[in-house]
Chains A and B, each alone.
Chain A
Amino acid sequence: MDKFKLSYKPYGQNALLIEWPRMINESVLQDILRFKQLIAVDYPELEQIPAYNSLCLVARTPIDFNKLTRGIMAIYAEGFILPSHSKKVWEIPVCYDLSFGIDMEEFSLQKKMSIQHIIDLHTRPVYTVYCIGFLPGFMYLGGLNSSLIQPRRSEPRLRIPKGSVGIGGEQTGVYPQESPGGWNIIGNSPVPLFDPSNEKPCKISVGDGIKFYQIDKAQHELIKIQTETKIFEFKSYLSDD
């Protein structure tokens, strides 16, 4: 079990911010998530927001920073041997049709790669969800093939349609709502990543895996109807990698 040197910082009157060394990797993420699980046992009243190398604990009322930090540090010092759990991988359909992937042709020219090769590289990895933020249900994914790295567009668009799949720098992901954005849009996913009418509006959690698979326009249309009538089922599998 990796042990990291953590820093504990006050964040306003109501929050404590725990930070790991500045790096993006699975061992930091797994350490954050295991620590989070243990904190939830002793401090169920705290909201916990994980990100790449941080975990923010927020209370509804002012906290006693020193006392809380001592309590939380003790949990980490005790160490934890949790069984290594298998990772949940969600399969997300993406239609790479050019009517959705409005930047695909330009992207393919700049990369000197065929569109199908781009799609193959994009659907191959299991991406890791490092953080959810920016918009409800917006996932920050790690694991993009390095040959697909592409800077954001110099002029962000004011409106990116809901479900758009894009690449921005080393990141790839799906816009869960219509929003402004600067990513290169290569496709669209018909499944809702955030549904406020569900008690659990977002099925995916930080630490889960994401695998994109290619669908055609007709399948996109069908899945869209299935999600609207709430008969679409998210597919996921457990992976021990």
Chain B
Amino acid sequence: MIEVLKTGFLTSIQDRGRYNHRHHGVPISGVMDEISANMANALLGNSIEDAVMEITLSGPELLFESDAIITLCGAFMSPTINEKELLNDEVYHIKAGSVLKFGRPSRGIRCYLAVSGGFQTEFVLGSRSWYSSVTPVESLYVGMHLPLSKKSGLKKDSGSRVNSGHNYNSNIIEVEKGPEFNLLSEHHKAQLLNGIFNISKQNNRMAYQLKQQILKHSYSILTSSTLPGTVQLTPSGKLIILMKDAQTTGGYPRILQLTDASIALLSQKSTSDEVDFVLKQ
């Protein structure tokens, strides 16, 4: 078990998401940055489906009540164990009684803590991902105990790096044309693909809004399916990028669709960061 001493800004347990309930309006949820989370599981030899802890902006304080093998990937948040500095992307054997703490993020905003065998919190509708109105909790609370896997040795194929992680300095968000891209005027398309955008304060697990608007329009659709990574255009010209906890349907035109890798990269960006849309060739 791990006991939560402090919660951090927004810390939750996530796996690859909750599938097959979208037709009832249940969002996918799951890790925002799949690339970093997959890497954390791979380093420990876990299954890609194992649940990890997603730590956003400021980290929690965690007391290990039993021995554990851990790794941290994604945002670098100056982690320490019993005041001793740790690195990202390294495997550590933690002794019972140790306390894991974090500092401020210096690169990216979402850090993934994986434990050998994965977090064993409750499965609800086929997933351990936390989401309010589906799971009993949506973020860590002080005094909470998180169950770990009983068979928590390192697997044989541990340490294999599936990828090299992100280029955190890149602002390039690779997109494909969304279902309503072709409704747009040439002027709208040029604004969208040549413009430079910044992330507004409204950015969370549901959606990232952009500060700059493009021209007003009167294109409309009947409410239809949306996906994580869909860029919606509101009538006033606001751009909203849907993320993992987004609603499953929407009535705004879906003008662009981020690639999975771009969703992961965008998840490491925050308020004021720049975003340049580039059409995938």
Partner-B contacts on A (CB < 8 A): 9-15, 17, 19, 22, 24, 47-54, 56, 58, 60, 131-138, 140, 177, 194, 196, 201-202, 205-206
Complex CA gap A136/B29 in Å reads 12
Complex CA gap A9/B258 in Å reads 16
Contacts of B22 in A (CB 8 A): 47, 49, 58
Does B21 belong to the interface (CB within 8 Å)? yes
Complex CA gap A202/B26 in Å reads 10
Establish whether residues B24 and A201, one from each chain, have CB atoms under 8 Å apart when the complex forms.
yes
Q: In residues 103-152 of chain B, which contact A (Cβ within 8 Å)?
A: 124-125, 133-135
Given contacts A11-B257, A58-B227, contact A137 B24 (CB under 8 A): yes
Complex CA gap A13/B4 in Å reads 38
Does B212 belong to the interface (CB within 8 Å)? no
Complex CA gap A56/B249 in Å reads 10
Establish whether residues B257 and A136, one from each chain, have CB atoms under 8 Å apart when the complex forms.
no
Contacts of A12 in B (CB 8 A): 176, 227, 229-230, 257-259
Identify A136's interface contact among B24, B178, B229, CB under 8 A. B24
Apart from A133-B223, A134-B25, 8 more pairs, CB < 8 Å: A9-B179, A11-B257, A12-B259, A47-B19, A53-B224, A135-B25, A136-B27, A201-B26
Contacts of B25 in A (CB 8 A): 132-138, 194, 202
Contacts of B36 in A (CB 8 A): none
Nearest-CB distance from A12 to chain B (Å)? 4
Establish whether residues B224 and A196, one from each chain, have CB atoms under 8 Å apart when the complex forms.
no
Does B187 belong to the interface (CB within 8 Å)? no
Given contacts A49-B23, A201-B26, contact A15 B227 (CB under 8 A): yes
Residues of B in contact (CB 8 Å), total 34
Identify A54's interface contact among B19, B26, B225, B258, CB under 8 A. B225
Identify B24's interface contact among A19, A140, A177, A194, CB under 8 A. A194
Partner-A contacts on B (CB < 8 A): 19-27, 124-125, 133-135, 176, 178-179, 221-225, 227, 229-230, 247-250, 254, 257-260
Complex CA gap A13/B174 in Å reads 12
Nearest-CB distance from B57 to chain A (Å)? 24
Establish whether residues B23 and A22, one from each chain, have CB atoms under 8 Å apart when the complex forms.
no
Complex CA gap A54/B225 in Å reads 8
Nearest-CB distance from A67 to chain B (Å)? 18
Establish whether residues A196 and B222, one from each chain, have CB atoms under 8 Å apart when the complex forms.
no
Complex CA gap A50/B249 in Å reads 10
Nearest-CB distance from A64 to chain B (Å)? 15
Complex CA gap A128/B185 in Å reads 35
Contacts of A54 in B (CB 8 A): 222, 224-225
Complex CA gap A48/B22 in Å reads 8
Establish whether residues A51 and B125, one from each chain, have CB atoms under 8 Å apart when the complex forms.
no
Complex CA gap A137/B250 in Å reads 15
Nearest-CB distance from A28 to chain B (Å)? 10
Tell which of A14, A54, A135, A196 has the most Cβ of chain B within 10 Å: A196
Contacts of B257 in A (CB 8 A): 11-12
Establish whether residues A202 and B224, one from each chain, have CB atoms under 8 Å apart when the complex forms.
no
Nearest-CB distance from B278 to chain A (Å)? 15
Establish whether residues B26 and A136, one from each chain, have CB atoms under 8 Å apart when the complex forms.
yes
Complex CA gap A24/B251 in Å reads 14
Nearest-CB distance from B128 to chain A (Å)? 13
Establish whether residues B133 and A194, one from each chain, have CB atoms under 8 Å apart when the complex forms.
yes
Tell which of B27, B124, B223 has the most Cβ of chain A within 10 Å: B223
Given contacts A177-B133, A201-B24, contact A17 B124 (CB under 8 A): no
- In this complex, what residue of A is CB-closest to B131? A136
Nearest-CB distance from A93 to chain B (Å)? 21
